[in-house]
Structures are given as structure tokens and as C-alpha cells.
């Protein structure tokens, strides 16, 4: 059972196929900045440009990017369920956590769990053959684990070469290997994703040595207690930020479903470009 | 299950940064028109806007004070046209004007609710990138006092007859304009300009929660 879901996701990713722009016309795969730059460059090279077309017209007439969302109806349903779950379950939890735990402690715990994810980021850097970046991740981990007291303080932010290292995950690794995103999905509890990113979660799980112990340990009770404790703690620590972000998103959006979908896909595309 | 929490965090964090955290976006949007260097212009005027945004006044007062400033220096007309997309030309002039007014009010209102009572963010400016003879973008890294990590905010500016104006903002790669365009497109397909107007009016009628 431990291997069933990752295997299934991997198969789904393979089925969804390698990246092919002609097959994926509706996903914002490129960094909008670069797209804009390319569009701008190409427009500069066009000698036969309509003189009556102004720059503002060009901007205003950019086509709307279509999205690969074949499961939109069920995604909408899941989105509403997640919304309800967030407001009625996670929000009270996050509120209680914020009331009980001081801000400085919350920040320390958040840093701690970020530091704990080092093997995932490092492993994906290596899988993508980004050796400089993997070295930076090692540097971050060493600095934060030692000077940062086990990761509670993110001392690496004070070191310019370690301050802004993009976090890699297996979804991005698959993207760099050429796999397309596949259809957009809204996963219960988990939120927005794609077939590729969902597979990425399984990959990240496998890359984390902590999980190797949880999977292969002969002490099932201990490993389960440790595993669920870490998962629950991580969930609670990150709940306040997630809830605030979600509520702000809803408040600004006229169509929250479309807003979240666009934001998720655009952000992942931008991450892939870094 | 170990990655589920991480997955939630990842998704929601992406939403957060992409969630049009207008407090730090729009507070950079306003600057006086000038024909010269857009970066210097943006940089020099940010303090003025931040001073207004973080002066500790109420959300309602900030709407009154920041609104005219933003409308003067920020091309809401162009942003609204972009947010609607090619369908804009099919709308009547009256609908266009109404949508522009409503969208402008929405942006200013959200901005005002977000910045009240919060601390000033730390901003680091990057080099200006030329996109076209009359367009450029300026990358920044913003660190909010209550945020765990810095995030990237990129401003796109266009040189209009009235001076350099911002026409889009990208937060962690997510375009403010494209995000609203995705939302408006769905609405326009369902009910045209009337659906967009109705949605904007409904949104403006909702109370803003300053604690969210």
C-alpha cells in the first residue's frame, strides 16, 4: 500500500506525457516576465506592424491563456469543500495556535520545519544536476543547524550567497526532465495541484530520509507515532500563514476558483524558469 | 503522509504570495510622473507612499487619502483593459467606464484594508530591464516584518504621454493583471460585461475583514 499511490501517480504522469507546447497550449509554462520580454522583442522585430496599434493596445489585446482543466466541475466541488474545511476547521486551529504561541516561537518552529526539508531540496537539486545550488542548500543547512540552533533561526539569510536559494521539489524536477504539468487538479485538503505536482509529492516523500525510517522501520508503532506527530506539527505551524493567505486571496478575488488556479499554475511556471 | 503537510504549505504559500497581497504591491504603485529614469522615479516616491500607507490611520481614511494618489499615478484604465482582455472592445463605452470605476475602487479598498496598522516592509530594488522602447520592468525583493520569507515583486511600467505608469505587477511570477484576466474571462463568457459589473458590485458590497 505504501508504494501503490506513488506508483499510480508516476503512471499518471507518464500518461500525461512529456512536455509538448503543441499539446499544452493552455498552461502558462513560461515566466510572464520572459514571455513579455520575448513578446516585446518579437514585436520590435516586426517591420510590418500596424502603425495605428499602440503599445497599450498590444497589452490590452493579449489573449486570455486557456487552462488545461478537464476536471473543472469536480475541481469546483472539491474547491468548495476545501474552502469549508479551511474556514471551519483549519482557521479555528490556526487562531488557537496564534493565541497560545508567541510570534517569535512560531517563526522558530516554521524555520525548524523548513530546515527539516533540506534533504528534499538537496536531492532535487542533485537530480536536476544543479550542483551549485545543491552546495548552497548544504551551506544553508549547516549554517542554520549549527549557528541557527537546530534550524530555529534562519541565520543563512545573513549570508548573501545563501539568502535567496530557490527551493526545489520533485514536481519541478519532473518539469525540468520534460514532463508536462498534466491536468489541473484540486485535491481534497491538499488544495491546488497538477498531475505532475501530485506525483512530485510522492517523489519528495521518497527523497526524505526521515520517511525511509518511517517506511522501513520494524517498529511500526514508533514510526507511526513519529510520522504523524511530525505531520501534525508541521500542519499546525503552517496553518496561520496558510489561512491568512487564503482569506486575503478570497477577499481580493471576484472568482476565487479561477484566481487560485491561475496563481498556482503561474507560480509553478515561474519557479520552473528559475 | 509526511509530505501532505508540506504540500498544503506549498500550495497555500503559493497562493499567499500569488494572492495579490495588495498591501505591498499597491503601496509601490504610486509615484509622480516623470519623463526620466523610471527606476529612480519609483524608488524615490516609494517612501512617500509608504509613509502614507503606514501612518496608522484607519482603513476608511486611507481610502480617501490614498485613492486620489493612486489614481493619479497608476493607469487603472490600462490595467482594467488588460484585465478584461480582447473582449474589452466589445463592451459599450458606458460598461467600460463602469468596470474601470468599480475595479479601481476594489483595488484601492483592498489596499487600504491591508496596510492599515502594519509595519513597513523592507524593499531591495533590482536593475531595470527594458521590455520595449516604452516599457520596462523593475524587480524588487520585499520582506514583510510579519512574513517568514522575502518574496519577489516585479513592476512593469509603460511610458505614457503623462509619464511612467505601472501597468502590471508580478508577485512571485504571478501577474496581477493576468490573474484578474483569468477571473474576468470566465465571467465574460458566462454573462458579458453585465456579469463582470455584477461580480464587482457584489465584491464591493462585501465587508472587508482587516484581520484576514
Least confident of A51-65, A260-274, B176-190: A51-65
If one counts the domains in chain A, the total is: 1
Query: Is B132 in Cβ contact with A44 (below 8 Å)?
Result: yes
Within 8 A of A169 by CB-CB distance, chain B residues are 10
Strand B174-175 and strand B122-125: the pairing is: unpaired
Mutate to test the interface with B, among A4, A28, A33, A224 (most CBs of B within 10 A): A33
Length of chain A in terms of residues written? 274
If one counts the domains in chain B, the total is: 1
Where is mean pLDDT largest: A118-127, B101-110, B113-122? A118-127
Mean pLDDT of the B5-33 span: 45
- Determine contact: B206 vs chain A, CB below 8 A: yes
pLDDT score recorded for residue A253: 93
In a domain, B134, yes or no: yes
Mean pLDDT of the B144-162 span: 82
pLDDT score recorded for residue A71: 96
Within 8 A of B20 by CB-CB distance, chain A residues are 248-249, 252-253, 259
Question: CA of A168: how far to CAs of A120, A122, A123, A137, A184, in Å?
Answer: 8, 8, 9, 10, 20
In a domain, B16, yes or no: no
Spatial contact of B28 and B46, defined as CB atoms under 8 Å apart = yes
Cα of A257 to nearest chain B Cα, Å = 8
DSSP state of A90: I
pLDDT band, very low/low/confident/very high, at B117 (cuts 50, 70, 90): low
Least confident of A201-210, B16-25, B88-97: B16-25
In a domain, B158, yes or no: yes
Rounded CA gap, A78 and A257, in Å? 10
pLDDT band, very low/low/confident/very high, at A1 (cuts 50, 70, 90): very low
Q: Is the pLDDT assigned to residue B19 strictly greater than 50?
A: no
| Window 12-31 of B, Cβ < 8 Å to A | 12-22
Within 8 A of B180 by CB-CB distance, chain A residues are 254, 259
pLDDT score recorded for residue A200: 94
pLDDT score recorded for residue B43: 76
Provide the mean pLDDT of chain B: 77
pLDDT band, very low/low/confident/very high, at B63 (cuts 50, 70, 90): confident
Q: Is the pLDDT assigned to residue A172 strictly greater than 90?
A: yes
pLDDT score recorded for residue A245: 85
In a domain, B8, yes or no: no
Q: Centre a 10 Å sphere on the Cβ of residue B87 and count the other Cβ atoms it contains.
A: 17
pLDDT score recorded for residue B211: 59
Query: Is A40 in Cβ contact with B178 (below 8 Å)?
Result: no
In a domain, A212, yes or no: yes
Q: Is the pLDDT assigned to residue A210 strictly greater than 80?
A: no
For residue B118, the domain's CATH number is: 3.10.450.710
Mean pLDDT of the A212-225 span: 76
In a domain, B122, yes or no: yes
pLDDT band, very low/low/confident/very high, at A250 (cuts 50, 70, 90): confident
Mean pLDDT of the B190-212 span: 85
Q: Is the pLDDT assigned to residue A46 strictly greater than 60?
A: no
Q: Which residue has the higher pLDDT, B188 or A22?
A: B188
pLDDT score recorded for residue B13: 45
Q: Cβ-count burial of A186 within 10 angstroms (0-12 exposed, 13-18 middle, 19+ buried)?
A: buried
- Determine contact: A227 vs chain B, CB below 8 A: yes
In a domain, A31, yes or no: no
Q: Which residue has the higher pLDDT, B56 or B150?
A: B150
- Determine contact: A5 vs chain B, CB below 8 A: no
Q: Is the pLDDT assigned to residue B22 strictly greater than 60?
A: no
The C-alpha torsion from B77 through A28 and A272 to A260, rounded to 10°, is: 70
Q: Is the pLDDT assigned to residue B121 strictly greater than 60?
A: yes
Query: Is A254 in Cβ contact with B184 (below 8 Å)?
Result: yes
In a domain, B11, yes or no: no
Each residue of A87-117: pLDDT tens digit? 999 999 999 999 999 989 999 999 999 999 9
Q: Is the pLDDT assigned to residue A38 strictly greater than 50?
A: no
Mean pLDDT of the B43-70 span: 71
- Determine contact: A189 vs chain B, CB below 8 A: yes
CA-nearest residue to B138 within chain A is A33
Nearest by CB: A246 against B15, B20, B209 = B15
pLDDT score recorded for residue A259: 94
Within 8 A of B132 by CB-CB distance, chain A residues are 40, 43-44, 55
Q: Which residue has the higher pLDDT, B92 or B211?
A: B92
Each residue of B69-115: pLDDT tens digit? 777 667 889 999 999 988 898 999 999 999 999 999 988 887 777 66
In a domain, B6, yes or no: no
Task: Give the range of the structural domain holding residue A107, as residue numbers without chain letter.
Answer: 69-273
In a domain, A5, yes or no: no
Within 8 A of B2 by CB-CB distance, chain A residues are 205, 208, 210-211, 214, 227, 230-231
pLDDT score recorded for residue A227: 80
Nearest by CB: B199 against A169, A193, A254 = A254
Q: Is the pLDDT assigned to residue A68 strictly greater than 80?
A: yes
Task: Give the range of the structural domain holding residue B112, as residue numbers without chain letter.
Answer: 21-205
DSSP state of A79: H
Nearest by CB: A255 against B2, B186, B209 = B186
Q: What percentage of chain B carries pLDDT values higher than 90?
A: 25
| Window 131-150 of A, Cβ < 8 Å to B | none
pLDDT band, very low/low/confident/very high, at B44 (cuts 50, 70, 90): low
Q: Which residue has the higher pLDDT, B189 or A134?
A: A134
Q: Is the pLDDT assigned to residue B153 strictly greater than 90?
A: no
Length of chain B in terms of residues written? 212
pLDDT score recorded for residue B103: 93
CA-nearest residue to A36 within chain B is B131
- Determine contact: B2 vs chain A, CB below 8 A: yes
Please report the ipTM that was assigned to this predicted complex: 0.79
pLDDT band, very low/low/confident/very high, at B49 (cuts 50, 70, 90): low
Q: Find, among A47, A93, A40, A94, the residue nearest to A62 by Cα.
A: A40
Mean pLDDT of the A19-38 span: 40
DSSP state of A25: T
CA-nearest residue to A235 within chain B is B5
Cα of B179 to nearest chain A Cα, Å = 6
Mutate to test the interface with B, among A60, A66, A244 (most CBs of B within 10 A): A60
In a domain, B148, yes or no: yes
Q: What angle do CA A246, A249, A251 make, to 5 degrees?
A: 110
Each residue of A131-170: pLDDT tens digit? 999 999 999 999 999 999 999 999 998 888 988 899 999 9
Query: Is B182 in Cβ contact with A267 (below 8 Å)?
Result: no
Cα of A36 to nearest chain B Cα, Å = 7
Provide the mean pLDDT of chain A: 81
Q: Is the pLDDT assigned to residue A2 strictly greater than 50?
A: no
Q: Centre a 10 Å sphere on the Cβ of residue A11 and count the other Cβ atoms it contains.
A: 11
CA-nearest residue to B130 within chain A is A37
pLDDT band, very low/low/confident/very high, at A31 (cuts 50, 70, 90): very low
CA-nearest residue to B199 within chain A is A254
Query: Is A232 in Cβ contact with B178 (below 8 Å)?
Result: no
pTM over 0.90: no
Amino acid at each position: 500500500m505504501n508504494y501503490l499511490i506513488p506508483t499510480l501517480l508516476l503512471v499518471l504522469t507518464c500518461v500525461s506525457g512529456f512536455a509538448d507546447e503543441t499539446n499544452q497550449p493552455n498552461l502558462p509554462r513560461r515566466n510572464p516576465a520572459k514571455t513579455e520580454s520575448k513578446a516585446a522583442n518579437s514585436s520590435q522585430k516586426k517591420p510590418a506592424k500596424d502603425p495605428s496599434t499602440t503599445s497599450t493596445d498590444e497589452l490590452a489585446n493579449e489573449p486570455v491563456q486557456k487552462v488545461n482543466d478537464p476536471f473543472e466541475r469536480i475541481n469546483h466541488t472539491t474547491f468548495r469543500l476545501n474552502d469549508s474545511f479551511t474556514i471551519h476547521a483549519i482557521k479555528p486551529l490556526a487562531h488557537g495556535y496564534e493565541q497560545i504561541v508567541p510570534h517569535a516561537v512560531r517563526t522558530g518552529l516554521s524555520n525548524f520545519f523548513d530546515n527539516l526539508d533540506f534533504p528534499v531540496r538537496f536531492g532535487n537539486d542533485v537530480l536536476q544536476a544543479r550542483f551549485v545550488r545543491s552546495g548552497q542548500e548544504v551551506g544553508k543547512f549547516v549554517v542554520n543547524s549549527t549557528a541557527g540552533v537546530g534550524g530555529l533561526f534562519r541565520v543563512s539569510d545573513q549570508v548573501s550567497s545563501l539568502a535567496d536559494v530557490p527551493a526545489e521539489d520533485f514536481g519541478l524536477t519532473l518539469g525540468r526532465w520534460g514532463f508536462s504539468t498534466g491536468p489541473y487538479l484540486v485535491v481534497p485538503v491538499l488544495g491546488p495541484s497538477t498531475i505532475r505536482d501530485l506525483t512530485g509529492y510522492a517523489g519528495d516523500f521518497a527523497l526524505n530520509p526521515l520517511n525511509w525510517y518511517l517506511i522501513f522501520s520494524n517498529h511500526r508503532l514508533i514510526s507511526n507515532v513519529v510520522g504523524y506527530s511530525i505531520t501534525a506539527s508541521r500542519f499546525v505551524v503552517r496553518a496561520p500563514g496558510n489561512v491568512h493567505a487564503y482569506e486575503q486571496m478570497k477577499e481580493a478575488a471576484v472568482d476565487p476558483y479561477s484566481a487560485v488556479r491561475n496563481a498556482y499554475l503561474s507560480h509553478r511556471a515561474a519557479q520552473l524558469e528559475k | 503522509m509526511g509530505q501532505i503537510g508540506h504540500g498544503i504549505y506549498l500550495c497555500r504559500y503559493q497562493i499567499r504570495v500569488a494572492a495579490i497581497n495588495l498591501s505591498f504591491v499597491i503601496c509601490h504603485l504610486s509615484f509622480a510622473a516623470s519623463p526620466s529614469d523610471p527606476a529612480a522615479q519609483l524608488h524615490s516616491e516609494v517612501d512617500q507612499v509608504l509613509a502614507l500607507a503606514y501612518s496608522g490611520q484607519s482603513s476608511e481614511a486611507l481610502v480617501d487619502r490614498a485613492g486620489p494618489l493612486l489614481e493619479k499615478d497608476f493607469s487603472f484604465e490600462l490595467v482594467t483593459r488588460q484585465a478584461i482582455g480582447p473582449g474589452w472592445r466589445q463592451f459599450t463605452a458606458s460598461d467600460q467606464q463602469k468596470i474601470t470605476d468599480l475595479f479601481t475602487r476594489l483595488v484601492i479598498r483592498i489596499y487600504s484594508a491591508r496596510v492599515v496598522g502594519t509595519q513597513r516592509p523592507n524593499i531591495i530594488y533590482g536593475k531595470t530591464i527594458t521590455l520595449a522602447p516604452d516599457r520596462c520592468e523593475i524587480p524588487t525583493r520585499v520582506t514583510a516584518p510579519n512574513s517568514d520569507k522575502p518574496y519577489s515583486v516585479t513592476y512593469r511600467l509603460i511610458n505614457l504621454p503623462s509619464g511612467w505608469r505601472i501597468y502590471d505587477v508580478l508577485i512571485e511570477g504571478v501577474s496581477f493583471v493576468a490573474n484578474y484576466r483569468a477571473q474576468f474571462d470566465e465571467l465574460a463568457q458566462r454573462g458579458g460585461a453585465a456579469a463582470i459589473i455584477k461580480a464587482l458590485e457584489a465584491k464591493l458590497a462585501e465587508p472587508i475583514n482587516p484581520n484576514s
